[in-house]
Amino acid sequence: MHRVKVRVVEDALDANNTIARANRDDFDRHDVTVVNLMSAPGAGKTTLLERVLHDLPLRAGVLEGDVQGSYDADRLASLHVPVTQLNTDPGFGGECHLDANMVRSALPALPLAEIDLLVIENVGNLVCPAEFRVGEDARVMVCAVTEGEDKPLKYPLMFRTCELVLINKIDLLPHLDFDLDRLLHNLDAVHPGVKRMLVSARTGEGVEAWREWLTQLREQVPV
């Protein structure tokens, strides 16, 4: 039984990867750099996006993934960047993650000819989003210090498959029983040396470094 189950999962991931490559071809053809932004619910993805998109020297667009509603998309609307809402609830069975096919269904609604960078804000979840490539150039995950030091050990695939970890809510460190060294130790245990940045979406601390990272990513990705 278990072997069959794993085989089915592998087949589904193979099918997903095929569609992810098609997405990637479309993004490349339009010369758009794509970031898949992931985290647990409430880690601060949207607030960090609000911060980083302000003054970003790139033409950016956002694809907002949510089970339902458009609360985050509405928040980002004031930034005057093109925001497209993608809900997993109607039509996709209320999935807890974005997959390549869902992103593909949103492509016609994305202004690919008018942007340099597309940030795909995934559904808040540390498990399944990590299993599904959507055609991105890089994965960025947000880990809030309020979530505790053990998250890399409990959700290793997420931490292992990202190119950058944003350690958010550092403004709260003085008020927490939180051991930053232990988090970094756990992070290196599952993804040795992965690029990490200490940030605060609330105060803006560290956001400029992320802005520079995005700008450099855009320059490095082969056209």
- How near is the Cβ of 143 to its own copies at its closest, in Å? 9
Tokens of 178: 């939180």
Looking at beta carbons only, is 131 or 205 nearer to its own copies?
131
- How near is the Cβ of 97 to its own copies at its closest, in Å? 8
- 40, 126 contact by CB (below 8 A): yes
- How near is the Cβ of 114 to its own copies at its closest, in Å? 28
- Between the CA of residue 99 and those of 21, 103, 127, 128, 136, what are the distances in Å? 12, 6, 13, 9, 11
- How near is the Cβ of 88 to its own copies at its closest, in Å? 9
Binding stretches for its own copies (CB under 8 A): 2, 5-6, 8-9, 40-42, 66-69, 71, 90-96, 123-128, 131, 144, 146-148, 150-151, 153-157, 169, 172, 175-177, 202
- 107, 16 contact by CB (below 8 A): no
Looking at beta carbons only, is 31 or 74 nearer to its own copies?
74
Looking at beta carbons only, is 9 or 77 nearer to its own copies?
9
- How near is the Cβ of 154 to its own copies at its closest, in Å? 6
Residue whose C-alpha is closest to residue 137's, from 120, 154, 151, 150: 120
Residue whose C-alpha is closest to residue 142's, from 36, 69, 54, 57: 36
Residues shown for the chain: 223
Specify the 3-state DSSP secondary structure of 44: coil
Specify the 3-state DSSP secondary structure of 142: strand
Tokens of 140: 């960025």
- How near is the Cβ of 178 to its own copies at its closest, in Å? 11
Looking at beta carbons only, is 135 or 152 nearer to its own copies?
152
Looking at beta carbons only, is 45 or 218 nearer to its own copies?
45
CA separation for the pair 212, 103 (Å, rounded): 26
Tokens of 23: 């997405």
Looking at beta carbons only, is 42 or 57 nearer to its own copies?
42
